[in-house]
Each structure stands twice: as structure tokens, then as C-alpha cells.
Amino acid sequence: MLGGVFVADSSRVMLMWEPPRETPVYYFPVADVRRELLFESDHTRSSAAMGEARYWSVRVAESTAENAAWSYVAPSAGAPDASGYVAFKWDQMEAWFEEDDEVFVHPRDPYKRVDVLNSSRHVRVVIGGETLAETRRPRLLFETGLPTRYYIPKVDVRMDLLTPTDSHTRCPYKGIASYWTARVGDQQFKDIAWAYPAPIPECSKIENLVSFYNERVDAIYVDGELQPVPRTPWSR
């Protein structure tokens, strides 16, 4: 969707991993794209994996997305034939949907799992030498390729030490997250905790629970055992 109009709408989409991209891309059959909204661009791109790509800008009324659509003229040897398909730059479109549910950030990877389990483990989160959260009723979120996230009821969190910020992030598997900064004495730990006030239905069990970056707190203890500090894109 762009400018309140569906630029492409299809039940025949090809989901493709295109190196060096780390997330999949939707490719729409040309017949399912509003071609009158595409205006040819001089921009081109050469891909060793896929071949030569030509680009279009997308214009709907007052909304313009420059060089936001592309298609491959002819596939490289061994590549899937995408010549009859058009793809769009995700962040230049206004909104994306799978069926009637909005999708955020990128298409969902069918090989990625997100599971949320109830737990009675004793979880304690320490920041700035202070225990900011302690519970025996966490919900554990397991997401492919990421460390376990511990979601904690707000009544078990020192919310008096957390200040809401204007920060928000989007996740294709969980929804839109809101953040808090922790203030302990003279120390400030920006956007170190988050919650999903209205997660997508598949992750409803984490609704309004608070989680902390394992990578950035002083320590997380589970059943009294200090957890290792993971290395992720969110590490300090």
C-alpha cells in the first residue's frame, strides 16, 4: 500500500531469498501490480546471484517512492526466473499485509519460530547494582537465532525506576514495542526495557509484560544461576 492505495495485491506471490539480503522478499506477478502507478527510472542494479535489475518509481496522488520497485530483465544462470515479477522496497511503502493482518519490517520467514512458554523459574534482573525485576512467573520467549527473552509482569518490576521513552520498534513476528529507560542513582540506561502493549495474535502471551536486554543489563539470574551475556546486534 502507498498513499492509501494497494499498489500490488496477489495470492500468487513468490517469496525469495536474494543474496546478500538476510530476509526474504515478496515478488509479485506483473499481472497483479498496478502498472499505471509505476514510472520507469534510469536506475539499474547488477546482482551476481540474480542478474540485471531495472527500477521504477511508484506514484500515487501526492505520494512518491523513488526507485522503489524493481524487476530482473533476465535471470543469471542457475537463478530462479523472476523476470515476470516485481518487488518493492519495504520501507518505502506505506503498509504491507498478509491476508488482513499488517506485517512489519519484512516478510515473515517461514523457517523462523517464535514460541512463548509459561515458566515458574526464578528470574532476577540487575541493573546498576539494583534489582529491577524479580519474579517466579516469567514467560520465556524463544526466537530462532536470538537469546531467550524473559517477559516479566509489571507488578514484579520496579516500574518506579523506569521512565517511558518515545522509542518504538517493529517486529514482523511480535508487533510494535514501546521502551523504558532505567534510572538507578546517577546512572541512566537508555531504552533497556520494552513491552508489546498490543502484540500480534500469535504472541498474545507477552502482552504488556516487560523484558530487558540480556546484552546490556548487569546480570540476569535464572534459578540463582548467572546467565551468560549473549552477543547480538543489540550488544553495547
Q: Which pLDDT score, from 0 to 100, does residue 219 have?
A: 95
For residue 236, pLDDT over 90 is answered with: no
User: Is the four-CA dihedral 184, 221, 166, 234 of positive or negative sign?
Assistant: positive
What residues are paired with 143 via a beta bridge? 114
Amino acid letter for position 138: P
Per residue in 8-53, pLDDT (tens digit) is 999 899 999 887 788 899 999 999 999 999 999 999 888 878 888 9
Is 114-226 in CATH node 2.170.150.40?
yes
pTM, to two decimals: 0.74
C-alpha cell of residue 182: 532505567
Query: How many Å apart are CA 49 and CA 39, to the nearest integer?
Result: 26
Q: Which pLDDT score, from 0 to 100, does residue 155 have?
A: 97
Q: Measuring CA to CA, which residue among 68, 47, 46 is closest to residue 56?
A: 68
Q: Which pLDDT score, from 0 to 100, does residue 106 have?
A: 92
Q: Which pLDDT score, from 0 to 100, does residue 22 have?
A: 82
User: Is the four-CA dihedral 202, 101, 146, 122 of positive or negative sign?
Assistant: negative
Q: How confident is the model at residue 7 (pLDDT cuts 50, 70, 90)?
A: very high
Per residue in 201-223, pLDDT (tens digit) is 888 999 999 999 999 999 999 99
Per residue in 125-158, pLDDT (tens digit) is 999 999 999 999 999 999 998 999 999 999 999 9
Q: Which pLDDT score, from 0 to 100, does residue 201 have?
A: 83
For residue 75, pLDDT over 80 is answered with: no
Q: Which pLDDT score, from 0 to 100, does residue 188 have?
A: 97
Q: Which pLDDT score, from 0 to 100, does residue 210 have?
A: 95
Amino acid letter for position 32: D
List the end-to-end C-alpha distance of the chain, in Å, as a whole number. Answer: 36
Per residue in 92-126, pLDDT (tens digit) is 999 999 888 889 999 988 888 999 999 999 999 99
Query: How many Å apart are CA 106 and CA 191, to the nearest integer?
Result: 23
Q: Where are the beta strands (DSSP E) in 63-186?
A: 63-75, 85-88, 96-98, 101-103, 114-118, 123-127, 130-135, 139-143, 149-151, 162-171, 175-184
CATH 2.170.150.40 domain locations along the chain:
14-103, 114-226
Q: Which pLDDT score, from 0 to 100, does residue 111 have?
A: 87
Q: Which pLDDT score, from 0 to 100, does residue 212 have?
A: 96
Class of domain 14-103: mainly beta
- The Cβ of residue 69 has, within 10 Å, a number of other Cβ atoms equal to 26
* The Cα angle at residue 198 between residues 159 and 91, in degrees rounded to 5: 110
Q: Which pLDDT score, from 0 to 100, does residue 33 have?
A: 98
Per residue in 158-205, pLDDT (tens digit) is 999 999 999 999 999 999 999 999 999 999 999 999 999 999 888 899
Query: How many Å apart are CA 202 and CA 182, to the nearest integer?
Result: 29
